[in-house]
Structures are given as C-alpha cells and as structure tokens.
Amino acid sequence: RSKWKMFKRTVQFGLLGGIGYSAYVLWDARNPPFQAPFDPEKKTIVILGSGWASTSLLKSIDTDLYNVVVVSPRNYFLFTPLLPSCTVGTIDVRSIVEPTRFITRHKSREVKVYEADCTEVDPFNKTVTISDNSEIKGQVNSSKVPYDYLVIGVGATNQTFGIKGVQEHALFLKEVWDAQKIRTRLMDCIETAGFPNQSPEEIDRLLHMVVVGGGPTGVEYAAELHDFLVEDLTTWYPELAGKLKITLIEALPNVLPAFSKQLIDYTEANFKEQNISIHTKTMVKEVHDREITVQQADGSLAQMPYGLLVWATGNTSRPVVRNLMSKFPQTQTVGRGLLVDDWLKMQGSNDIYVLGDAAASKYAPTAQVASQQGKYLARLFSKLALQDELETEVYALSDIDEKARKLRRLEKVRRNIKPFHYSHQGSLAYIGSDKAIADLPWGSGNVASGGVATYVFWRSVYLSNLFSIRNRALVATDWIKKNVLGRDISRE
C-alpha cells in the first residue's frame, strides 16, 4: 500500500514538474531577456542566409564573444523536409517556418537581422553589399556591412541546365512561395479542366501533372500529389479525379540514385501500384507553355502535353557565390559551389567560411550536413575567440615564464581546433500511401527499410527535428486536421 502511495506521489510530482517545465519554456519563448548591445571591442561575424546552415550556427553561437549580423532575403528559417507536404495542403507553410528573430532575441547580445539580399562580397575590403528587395521601398535600399568574419550560408538555386523554357514555364520546389504557386496552379488546372465544353484532349492535358527529376524532391512531391488525388480529389471532383495523371521523368536508369538498390525497387513498385508513371532514361530537352519535348530511352524525341510542370533536377550555385568565385580564379575552380578546406574556410581566404549547399565539398547538399556544419562552426568560433584572447595576452606579457606558459596553452588551443567531421544519421523519403523508405547506417553497413512502420518513424524523426515546440505543435495539429477534416481544396 505504501509502495503504491509512493508510486502515485512520484507520478504526481513528475507530472507537475513536466507541466511546470513546459510552462516555463513557453513563458521564456514569449519573454526574451534583456540583451547586451554591440561591443565595438569584439569582432563582428556577418552570417548570410537563414536556412539550415546559418540557423544552426545562429542557435549555437556564443554572442558573448562576438557581434553578430544576419543578412537574409527571408526573415525566417524553413524546414524544407516537410515542404512537399505544403504543395497539397497536408501541412500549412506557416507550421514549418520559424522567424529568425525568435532565435536571435534569445541570445545574450543583440543580433542585427537585415531582411535583404547580399548582392556582392568584397573580400579585400571585408564588406558585403546588401540590398532590400521587398516591394516596399524605403529611402535607402542598398548598404555596405563590414565584417571580421563572413559566413556564407546562402544555399543554392535551382539547376535548369540552361534548358529552354524551364524558367518561364516550370515551377520549382525550394521555397515557401514555390509550394504556394504549385498548389494554386494545381487547383487552377483542375478547375479549368471542369470548365464547360472543354475538349477531352484539353482535359487530359490540364490534368497531366509532370514532375521532372527523380531525386528525393521529385519523388516526395509525386507521392504527396498522389495522396491528395486519392484522399481528397476523388471525393470533391469525382468526374475529374479519374482522369488526373502523374508522370515522373528521370534522366538516369532509376529514381533516387542515392538510395540502396532494394529501396529504389520498392519505390518504383510502389509508384506503379499508385499509377504514377515513371519514365526513366528520359531527358527533358525543351519546355513550352503547354508541352515538353523529351528524349526517350531509344533516343527518339516526343512531345508530352502537361498542365502542371514541377522541375526538381537539383542545385546550382547562386549569383552572389559565382561572383565571389570569380574574384579567386586561382583557388575557386569548381562551378557547383565555393571550395573549402577541412575547417570549412573558403579556399583563398582567411576570414570567409562557407556552409551547406553553397559549398562544394565532399558531402551531399543536405539539411543534415548543413546543420552539423553550422553547429561545428559555432564551436570553432568559440575556439578562435579564445585563441585571439590568448594571443593578445601573450603579446602583452613581459615575464618570460608566464609567456611560455601562455604560449603552451595557446598551442594546445590551436591543436584542439579539429577539422569538421560529418556523422551521417541516414536518409529518409516519403513515397506515398503512408509509406516511407529509410537507409540507416548500422555498424559499418546499412539497414534499408520501407513501408508503413518506416512512415511512422519518418513522422517521428521530422517532428522531433523541427526547430521549436511551436513548430512541433503546429505540424502535429496539421496532421490530425488532415486525417479528421481532409485537406483544404480552395485555391490560394
């Protein structure tokens, strides 16, 4: 009996503690502390971008040691892994963004956040030019910001390989507005297909959704579109839903080349079951406003009419990155990004660091790599600050023994600045019908799994990886809402 009482009391205390802690976390989130102002004695780090790499750095950086300035054309972080779910309304875009100021306002020192594009880096005078691209124009739209250290986390832009018509007619899937545009276009195609007296050929064209690129972005988008079709469109557009076709075009012999063979086969079989037609060994050669020209496996050319065209053929470097490369012709010789050393320092520079998709490194352009690099760089900056402090002290000391002792410590700190090490946690992708695939590292090998259980795992991983409690609550609510009420089919 007394044991039962003890157990009950422990549970009660545990619950109370949990509620108290959650209340404190929520209160703390809404009530940021007083922040110290910029310190002219400290070095200034300018961080470009508010994506995976920059936000991870921002979360971990010690602002007692540096002044920090963030420059990004969007004033929020976007959780890209759930972006395909926003194209059909499974998740609301607001649920997967986190305002950058929610992070910076909790730092011990004030962090300046400028919503602007960095248009040019001047590595010789150590300044960046920033430009306000918002629709509201102030009196000043361009400015120069000086830095001691510059961190380039501007990500990458969409690769089109210069194929004619892609920029004009295709939609991409990288940013919040891309997902919104896709959703609007999709609903437009369906509503227009239902317009009176539309010819059968035109209905078929409007309801043909083509995805180019069989990497994870293309596959996940096709999967979300399929779910929307079977779970919602069949109910609300019974006369049209049966005519909607999804086609995935991939230049290589199979989709998802980075996944293991059995998961590729599993995905392709699952897509077949879902009536998503996959055209492998097929290259898009030209894009027109209503059709694309493709080169098929046998080399012949064919026309493929479409209503919606989503282009997901990977990354290429942004103009600001290419401009910086051109200033280092001897060391920056690779077009796909800025070359860095093992400490993520840009080749040819002593004070510029490059993270995530903006870098040309041995790692894949993924959120996992970018966020680990951001965390690593925050630790590296702390060590650099300690190194600077010791160097100043050594310089000022006249006592030989004391100087030698400090020099030994300085040497130890320098030795302790280890190169970046990436720890791969595995790859996941959603493939439709409540199924996901996972390639997970296991010992020296790999474990591959696919199916509904993997989908539950996929959901729990993404839910726990979201940046804040707020995001987790919103995404969980969206998932429940979708299951109970279905997706919203109104046009954005």
Cβ closest to ligand NAI, residue 221 vs residue 353: 221
Q: Could you tell me the smallest distance in angstroms from the CB atom of residue 133 to ligand NAI? A: 24
Q: Could you tell me the smallest distance in angstroms from the CB atom of residue 166 to ligand NAI? A: 9
| Residue 78 in contact with ligand NAI, rule: CB under 6 A | no
Cβ closest to ligand NAI, residue 200 vs residue 299: 299
| Residue 98 in contact with ligand FAD, rule: CB under 6 A | no
Contacted entry of ligand FAD, ligand NAI, none for residue 218, CB cut-off 5 to 8 Å set by kind: ligand NAI
| Residue 264 in contact with ligand FAD, rule: CB under 6 A | no
Between the alpha carbon of residue 365 and those of residues 218, 370, 371, the distances in Å are 15, 8, 11
| Residue 440 in contact with ligand NAI, rule: CB under 6 A | no
| Residue 318 in contact with ligand FAD, rule: CB under 6 A | yes
| Residue 118 in contact with ligand FAD, rule: CB under 6 A | yes
| Residue 263 in contact with ligand FAD, rule: CB under 6 A | no
Please tell me whether residue 393 adopts helix, strand or coil conformation. helix
Q: Which of 16, 36, 252, 473 binds ligand NAI (CB under 6 A)?
A: 252
Q: Could you tell me the smallest distance in angstroms from the CB atom of residue 122 to ligand FAD? A: 14
Q: Could you tell me the smallest distance in angstroms from the CB atom of residue 78 to ligand NAI? A: 13
Of 282, 285, 253, 283, nearest in space to 268 by CA: 253
DSSP letters spanning 160-198: -TT-TTHHHH-B--SSHHHHHHHHHHHHHHHHHHTSTT-
Please tell me whether residue 110 adopts helix, strand or coil conformation. coil
Q: How many residues bind ligand NAI (CB under 6 A)?
A: 28
Contacted entry of ligand FAD, ligand NAI, none for residue 251, CB cut-off 5 to 8 Å set by kind: ligand NAI
| Residue 337 in contact with ligand NAI, rule: CB under 6 A | no
Cβ closest to ligand FAD, residue 100 vs residue 406: 100
Two tokens, residue 70: 């963030």
Q: Could you tell me the smallest distance in angstroms from the CB atom of residue 471 to ligand NAI? A: 18
Contacts to ligand FAD from residues 367-396, by CB under 6 A: 367-368, 370
| Residue 84 in contact with ligand FAD, rule: CB under 6 A | yes
Between the alpha carbon of residue 30 and those of residues 41, 101, 102, 106, the distances in Å are 31, 12, 9, 10
Q: Which of 49, 89, 123, 216 binds ligand NAI (CB under 6 A)?
A: 216
| Residue 121 in contact with ligand FAD, rule: CB under 6 A | no
Euclidean distance between CA atoms 452 and 443, whole angstroms: 24
Contacted entry of ligand FAD, ligand NAI, none for residue 368, CB cut-off 5 to 8 Å set by kind: ligand FAD
Q: Which of 217, 316, 349, 361 binds ligand NAI (CB under 6 A)?
A: 217
| 42 DSSP assignment | S
Residue 432 φ/ψ region, left for φ over 0, alpha for ψ in the -120 to 50 degree band, beta for the rest = left
Cβ closest to ligand FAD, residue 356 vs residue 450: 356
DSSP letters spanning 53-69: HHHHHHHH--TTT-EEE
Nearest 5°: phi and psi at 212?
Answer: -105, 125
Euclidean distance between CA atoms 469 and 448, whole angstroms: 30
Two tokens, residue 319: 């103009």
The contact pattern for ligand FAD, residues 139-158, with x = CB under 6 A and - = no contact, is --------------xxx---
Are the C-beta atoms of 311 and 158 separated by less than 8 Å?
yes
| Residue 48 in contact with ligand FAD, rule: CB under 6 A | yes
**205-226: b (≥16 Cβ within 10 Å) or e:** bbbbbbbbbbbbbbbbbbbbbb
Q: What is the residue type of 370?
A: A
Euclidean distance between CA atoms 432 and 273, whole angstroms: 10
Contacted entry of ligand NAI, ligand FAD, none for residue 249, CB cut-off 5 to 8 Å set by kind: ligand NAI
Euclidean distance between CA atoms 46 and 48, whole angstroms: 7
Contacts to ligand NAI from residues 84-113, by CB under 6 A: none
| Residue 50 in contact with ligand FAD, rule: CB under 6 A | yes
Cβ closest to ligand FAD, residue 173 vs residue 229: 173
| Residue 466 in contact with ligand FAD, rule: CB under 6 A | no
Euclidean distance between CA atoms 334 and 331, whole angstroms: 9
Contacted entry of ligand FAD, ligand NAI, none for residue 257, CB cut-off 5 to 8 Å set by kind: ligand NAI
Q: Which of 69, 203, 211, 312 binds ligand NAI (CB under 6 A)?
A: 312
Q: What is the residue type of 489?
A: I
Please tell me whether residue 117 adopts helix, strand or coil conformation. strand
Q: Mark the segment that binds ligand NAI (CB under 6 A) among 265-273, 427-435, 440-448, 462-470.
A: 427-435
DSSP letters spanning 394-440: HHH---HHHHHHHHHHHHHHHHT-PPP------EEEEEETTEEEEEE
Q: Which of 356, 381, 420, 475 binds ligand FAD (CB under 6 A)?
A: 356
Euclidean distance between CA atoms 258 and 24, whole angstroms: 43
Contact residues: ligand FAD, CB under 6 A: 48-54, 71-74, 80-81, 83-84, 117-118, 153-155, 173-174, 217, 318, 320, 356-358, 365-368, 370
Contact residues: ligand NAI, CB under 6 A: 81, 161, 212-218, 220, 249-252, 257-258, 283-284, 312-315, 364-366, 427-429
